[in-house]
Amino acid sequence: MKFLKILMVVCGLIACLSLNSVAREVTYIESILSPAKLQGSGKLTWWGFHIYDVFFYRAATPASAEFALDVRYQKSFTGVSIANKTAEEMKKMGVPESQVALWGRELAAILPNIESGDTLTAVYMPKQGTVFYHDGKRIAQISGIEFSKAFFGIWLDPKTSVPKLRNELLGQGCPPPLFNEVC
């Protein structure tokens, strides 16, 4: 009986900590988009390995151009390997090789090494471009709509290499205006 009470207390504490973590994360995104609405989420797996969870947030009004992708990694990666994979995905979508090389170098210079449990958040702001955050701290900004289309297109463009994940992120909603897609 005593074991059962201890187990219930431990489970309760874990549940409270989990709820506080989720609330903190939503508050963080809320402070960026103000107000923010979760449109969809999904999980990327590769050969059965859980790589990351991704959450797609929109500003509360559907016509608003601002949005965020919040990626919570389940594996550790170097910033360079994330940059290289990003460049590879951009190339698959038809971005010219010379532009991919330039953006790949820029990403390699700004993206930090990631440990399991870390988050990278990318926010699209029309007048600023793409703003990057690591665990809630702003780390860099890359201006220009073409970079933003290529970067966010990895997940949100109809030509993505992960169409199932795209559908999960979009849910029942439309893609952001950045993609000029009819909904």
Q: List strand residue ranges (DSSP E) for 47-134, in order.
A: 49-59, 67-73, 119-125, 129-134
Q: Write the pLDDT tens digit of every residue in 108-154.
A: 999 999 999 999 999 999 989 999 999 999 999 999 999 999 999 99
The Cα–Cα gap between 126 and 168 comes to 24
CB–CB of 103/90 below 8 Å? yes
- % of the chain residues with pLDDT over 90: 63
CATH number belonging to the domain at 2-179, selected among 3.50.50.100, 3.90.1150.10, 3.50.70.10, 3.30.70.60: 3.50.70.10
C-alpha distance from residue 165 to each of 44, 97, 111 (Å): 7, 25, 23
What residue type is assigned to position 142 of the chain?
Answer: I
For the chain, the C-alpha Rg in angstroms (whole number) is 18
Tell me if the bond preceding 35 is cis, omega within 30° of 0: yes
- Strand 36-46's sheet: what is its strand order? 36-46, 49-59, 67-73, 119-125, 129-134, 137-142
Question: What pLDDT is recorded for position 30?
Answer: 83
Instruction: Give the model confidence (pLDDT) of 158-169 as tens digits.
Output: 999 999 999 999
